[in-house]
């Protein structure tokens, strides 16, 4: 809910990670490391995150109901990956701040 409020309040603002004394090379290296770690962790943790039972997703050629997860795993994984990246960057001392549109 809070994240949605930030997005709505920011409108179309752009954000970037900033840390006092960190140059572009350090930012790029730290962000890449956090994203890599988050991607690996999310791949293993997402199936456990919010797992719902299969739901009807369509019908086969014989008219039988086909069940599945309808992309939920990918959504959960992407959200978890984003949260893990943010957490990692904050632990490294970075802050996500709005910037001027370019």
What global pTM score does this model have? 0.63
pLDDT tens-digit map of 27-51: 999 999 999 999 888 877 766 545 5
Give me the pLDDT at residue 76, please. Answer: 77
- Structural domain boundaries enclosing 100: 17-50+71-102
Would you say residue 24 lies in a domain?
yes
Count of structural domains within the chain: 1
Q: HEC string of the chain?
A: CHHHHHHHHHCCCEEEEECCCCCHHHHHHHHHHHHHHHHHHHHHHHHHCCCCCCEEEEECCCCCEEEECCCHHHHHHHHHHHHHHHHHHHHCCCEEEEECCC
Q: Is the pLDDT of residue 68 over 80?
A: no
Would you say residue 9 lies in a domain?
no
Please report which confidence band the pLDDT of residue 65 belongs to, taking 50, 70 and 90 as the band edges: confident
Q: Is the pLDDT of residue 75 over 70?
A: yes
Would you say residue 46 lies in a domain?
yes
When pLDDT is averaged across residues 68-91 and rounded to a whole number, the result is 82
Give me the pLDDT at residue 70, please. Answer: 54
């Amino acid at each position: 809910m809070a994240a949605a409020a930030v997005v709505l309040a920011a409108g179309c603002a752009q954000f970037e990670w900033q840390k006092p004394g960190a140059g572009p090379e350090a930012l790029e290296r730290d962000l890449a490391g956090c994203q890599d770690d988050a991607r690996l962790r999310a791949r293993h943790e997402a199936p456990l995150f919010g797992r719902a039972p299969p739901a009807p997703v369509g019908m086969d050629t014989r008219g039988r109901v086909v069940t599945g997860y309808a992309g939920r795993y990918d959504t959960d994984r992407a959200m978890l990956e984003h949260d893990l990246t943010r957490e990692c960057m904050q632990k490294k001392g970075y802050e996500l701040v709005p910037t001027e549109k370019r």
